[in-house]
Amino acid sequence: MAQEVLMPKLGLTMTEGTITAWLKPEGSYVTKGEPLFEVATDKITNKVEAPGDGIIKVVVAEGSTVPVSAVVGYLLAEGEELPTVAKKSVEDIASKPEEAPTVKEAPKSEPPPETERVRATPAAKRRARESGIDLAKVPGSGPGGRITESDVENYLAQQKAVPPAADKEQVEFTSADKLPVKATPTAAKLAQELGIDLAELAQERRLTKRDVLVAALLAEEGDEERVPLAGMRRVIARRMSDSWSIAPHVTINMEVDMDQARVIRQEFNADCPSDEKISYNDLIVKAAAQALTEYPALNGSITKDEIIYHHFVHVGVAVALDDGLIVPVVRHADKKSLREVAQEVKDLAQRARSGNLSPDEVTGSTFTITNLGMYGVDSFTPIINQPESAILGVGVIKERPVVVDGTVVVRPMMTLSLSFDHRLVDGSVAAEFLRRVRELLENPYGIRPELA
């Protein structure tokens, strides 16, 4: 019996999901638990496993968005056909996607293919009819080789071109497998300078400077790649734009002497297995979490009509992925030991990179930390993760000469960059908070609860 494949509910707040990729082609056999398709929500992208064994029949195409519990496919036994009701549903969606109430088609980056032999824009077709030229002879520069009106104009210009008096002479040579090439001296010289193969442009008439310039322009356009703004990158683009327009960002920087942090990290990691070692980032998470309990404005949110002060500290830790960024959340970070924080950050980061986080694990942060130190960045301006009021950027730790008690010494120095929403947080409060984080990192034995 055909088994329905449904859009799963991956978190408490999830109402719909977008199928970004089918991991198994239609008609292939899958087994229960095998990754079947990828789903993107407004938070994360996750792999969904097959609910059973069978041959996959795809109902909802890649790029489409459907509500939770909507049927996206079926699993069939060998030789089994879809039930009549299911088959009718599939046919309706395939033939009338605009009438299928549960499917919202994702925006397309290109217009649908035309049925004509030659793909061209309406303006290009009109211009070709007016000029009496065969569109099949016009090279297209649009997406997928589509002919544009400018392509037609360039073709007409080539046909009508009359070489100047200085170019009355011509250079003629032949290619082993192409037409004889005739070109003006100017065209031949320009082609050599631009690296254009005149044999590729060979025509019955001689080639002019304009022909070479058009070929160079088309070659440059061919070096571009255009892809739809979709999936995680689309979500990131929207959120960053919204945050920058909503919150008046101010960023302040402060240097931190990480000498004592280095000492305590070495003590912690001396006899630990590699998977239990703590990082500098773990220390920063703990220091920031404690400071947030002392400066509630940095742990709050602001709406149009009210300020929300959270009585819990949930720290989001940004994790870089191949195709974007995700922010899993360490809940109640202020109440956990340094070792507990380290283990949780490591686990969340690993599952984020393998696509195994649930939406609930990337929801509800009250403050975010983003670290670019591993890339050698000294300082930067992070963008606030809405609806939070601040975000802490972490730079690289470098050995630098500093003055300590009147003596120049070399210390591991790091710059912290705090971006805050000036509607809720005043500059003096932000500075005090950042100074408190520095104080805790420079004297890490004062971090609560017990570090171990």
Same domain, 217 and 236: no
**What is the model's pLDDT at position 102?**
46
Same domain, 176 and 236: no
The interaxial angle of helices 149-160 and 122-131, nearest 10 deg, is 30
Same domain, 236 and 331: yes
Is pLDDT of 83 > 70?
no
Q: Residue 391 sits in a domain of what CATH number?
A: 3.30.559.10
Mean pLDDT on 125-132: 78
Domain stops at, among 171, 202, 221: 221
Is pLDDT of 359 > 50?
yes
Domain stops at, among 35, 68, 99: 99
Residue that wins the pLDDT comparison between 356 and 421: 421
Residue 112, in any domain of the structure? no
Residue 108, in any domain of the structure? no
Question: In this structure, are residues 397 and 374 in contact, taking their beta carbons and an 8 Å threshold?
Answer: no
The half-sphere exposure of 296 on its side-chain side, counting CA atoms within 13 A, is: 6
Same domain, 144 and 74: no
Domain stops at, among 170, 201, 221: 221
Residue 112: pLDDT band (50, 70, 90) is very low
Residue that wins the pLDDT comparison between 139 and 164: 139
The yes-or-no answer on residue 311 being catalytic is: no
Q: What is the DSSP string of 256-292?
A: EE-HHHHHHHHHHHTT--GGG---HHHHHHHHHHHHH
Q: Which residues of 289-324 are buried (b: 16+ CB within 10 A; e: fewer)?
A: bbbbeebbbbbbbbeeeeeeebeebbbbbbbbeeeb
Is pLDDT of 337 > 80?
yes
Dihedral Cα 257, 259, 262, 268, nearest 10 deg: -110
Of 51-65, 153-167, 211-225, 420-434, the one with minimum mean pLDDT is 153-167
Residue 415: pLDDT band (50, 70, 90) is very high
Is pLDDT of 247 > 90?
yes
Residue 208, in any domain of the structure? yes
Q: What is the DSSP string of 402-421?
A: EEETTEEEEEEEEEEEEEEE
Q: What is the pLDDT of residues 275-299, one digit of tens each?
A: 889 999 999 999 999 999 999 999 9
**What is the model's pLDDT at position 323?**
75
Q: Which residues of 106-138 are buried (b: 16+ CB within 10 A; e: fewer)?
A: beeeeeeeeeeebbbbeebbebbeeeeeebeeb
**What is the model's pLDDT at position 90?**
53
Of 29-43, 72-86, 151-165, the one with minimum mean pLDDT is 151-165
SS3 150: helix
Highest mean pLDDT among 100-104, 121-125, 392-396: 392-396
Same domain, 362 and 288: yes
Sign of CA dihedral 342, 343, 348, 351: positive
Q: Residue 83 sits in a domain of what CATH number?
A: 2.40.50.100
Residue 117, in any domain of the structure? no
Residue 296 lies in domain? 231-446
Dihedral class, residue 27 (left if φ above 0, else alpha if ψ from -120 to 50, else beta): left
What type of residue sits at position 144?
A: G
Residue 339: pLDDT band (50, 70, 90) is very high
Tell me the H-state helices in 270-366.
280-294, 338-353
Tell me the H-state helices in 180-279.
185-194, 209-221, 231-246, 259-269
Residue that wins the pLDDT comparison between 210 and 243: 243
**What is the model's pLDDT at position 100?**
40
Residue 401, in any domain of the structure? yes
Residue 40: pLDDT band (50, 70, 90) is confident
Same domain, 137 and 70: no
Counted domains in the chain = 3
Is pLDDT of 66 > 60?
yes
Residue 383, in any domain of the structure? yes
Q: How far apart are CA 93 and CA 96, in angstroms?
A: 5
Same domain, 215 and 82: no
Mean pLDDT rounded to a whole number for the chain = 83
Same domain, 405 and 266: yes
Residue that wins the pLDDT comparison between 141 and 317: 317
Residue 114, in any domain of the structure? no
Same domain, 161 and 40: no
Q: Residue 201 sits in a domain of what CATH number?
A: 4.10.320.10
Long-range pairs for 272-278: beta carbons < 8 A, 24 or more residues apart = 275/346, 276/339, 276/342, 276/343, 277/342, 278/338, 278/339, 278/342
Mean pLDDT on 389-411: 95
Same domain, 217 and 237: no
Of 4-18, 36-50, 152-166, 209-223, the one with minimum mean pLDDT is 152-166
Same domain, 271 and 369: yes
Pairing of strands 398-404, 407-421: antiparallel
**What is the model's pLDDT at position 1?**
76
Question: Token pair of 330, please?
Answer: 């360490």
Task: Please enumerate in sequence order all residues whose Cβ is within 8 A of that of 17, keeping only pairs 6 or more positions apart, or say none.
Answer: 7, 8, 10, 39, 40, 41, 65, 66, 68
Q: How far apart are CA 447 and CA 440, in angstroms?
A: 6
SS3 194: helix
Same domain, 216 and 236: no
Q: What is the pLDDT of residues 220-238, one digit of tens each?
A: 655 566 677 766 777 788 8
Residue 63, in any domain of the structure? yes
Q: How far apart are CA 70 and CA 226, in angstroms?
A: 31
Of 62, 82, 80, nearest to 72 by C-alpha is: 62
**What is the model's pLDDT at position 429?**
97
SS3 76: strand
